[in-house]
Each structure stands twice: as structure tokens, then as C-alpha cells.
Amino acid sequence: MKTTLNFQDADTFYEQLLDAHTGLSPERSQLLNARLILLLANQVGDAKLLKDCIDAAAQMPD
């Protein structure tokens, strides 16, 4: 699992993510996040790697 920055253009991705949420209700925003997570998980594909990512995200402080 990569934990160091691996984006080609992290700022642009973050901007696109924020733009995608603009004007959405909290419910629609959560649905967008859920769909995005599933699409990205499908790109990764590896069950163990996905489990490692879930575990790492769950360990992160608030």
C-alpha cells in the first residue's frame, strides 16, 4: 500500500473533488463519495490491498 504522495497533480484532483460536491445536499454528497469509493476500489481490484487501505483509513485520527 502506498502511503506517500503518488498523485500526478494532487491539487487538481482535490479541486475537481470539491467542484463535484458543489451544490449537492449532504445526502447527495455522501452518495457521490460512496460511488467514487466503489469506482476507485474497482480500479485497484486487489482485495488484500483494499482491506489494508480500509484498515489504514480507520486508524487515522479525526
Whether residue 55 lies inside any domain: the answer is: yes
pLDDT of residue 30: 97
For residues 59 and 24, give the distance between their C-alpha atoms in angstroms, rounded to a whole number: 28
Residues 6+ apart with CB under 8 A from 24: 32
* Structural domain contains residue 31: yes
In a domain, 4, yes or no: no
Q: Model confidence over 3-55: pLDDT tens digits? A: 888 888 989 999 999 999 999 999 999 999 999 999 999 999 999 999 999 99
Domain holding 30, by residue range, is: 25-62
User: How many separate domains does the chain show?
Assistant: 1
Domain membership flag for residue 13: no
Residue 33 lies inside a defined structural domain of this protein: yes
Q: Is residue 2 part of a domain?
A: no
What pLDDT does residue 62 have? 67
pTM above 0.85, yes or no: no
